[in-house]
Amino acid sequence: NEKVKVQSTLEEEHVRKKKLIWTILVTKLNRLAKEADICKMQQQKMTKLSIRYQEASEEYERKYEAFLNEQAGILAEKLTEGKACPVCGSKEHPRKAKLSLEAVSQQDVEQAKRTRNLYEKERDEAVSIYQDSVAAFTKLHASFREEVKKYTGIEMTDDETDYTRSGSVFVQ
């Protein structure tokens, strides 16, 4: 009878230990899945801001080039017959460059540059936050794998630690 009680107590302790290990691992796995979601969200934000920066950069370059192309027209407006051209020195101006109807002002160029610089800063901040998220995930991932090995004696494969497969977490 005493032997049966001891055996029962040992079995209860074994079951209790397994439940505790399971709870610890599920809690850590849920935390890891949340961190994976954060990484995914930060990656999406970083991508969106990178695209926005690229578009702003292209807009700035387009406006800057257009502005430079308009400089001949701006100079030509001030030319008068008989007075020397400030560029070439000629006193005759038979074919003056004309301003286009879509002339870009220096203020337009400067505003496009400010916008580009702002978007670049926001993109760089998003990249930094994403890198921090990946580092946190990587650290947590390594810790989880160590815990699994510690409690089970089994090393997990990469396939077994793909937490983003279904976008959900494993639950009890």
For 56-78, what is each residue's pLDDT tens digit?
999 999 999 999 888 888 888 88
Return the higher-pLDDT residue of 86 and 119: 119
- Is 74:105 a contact under the CB 8 Å cutoff? no
From CA 39, how far away is CA 37, in angstroms rounded?
Answer: 5
For 106-123, what is each residue's pLDDT tens digit?
999 999 999 999 999 999
From CA 114, how far away is CA 116, in angstroms rounded?
Answer: 5
To the question of pTM greater than 0.75 for the whole model, the response is no
Instruction: Centre a 10 Å sphere on the Cβ of residue 148 and count the other Cβ atoms it contains.
Output: 19
Helix/strand/coil for 24: helix
- Is 46:130 a contact under the CB 8 Å cutoff? yes
DSSP 127-165: HHHHHHHHHHHHHHHHHHHHHHHHHHS-PPPTGGG-TTS
For 23-38, what is each residue's pLDDT tens digit?
999 999 899 989 999 9
Q: Which two tokens stand for residue 124?
A: 């760089």
How many residues does the structure list for the chain?
A: 172
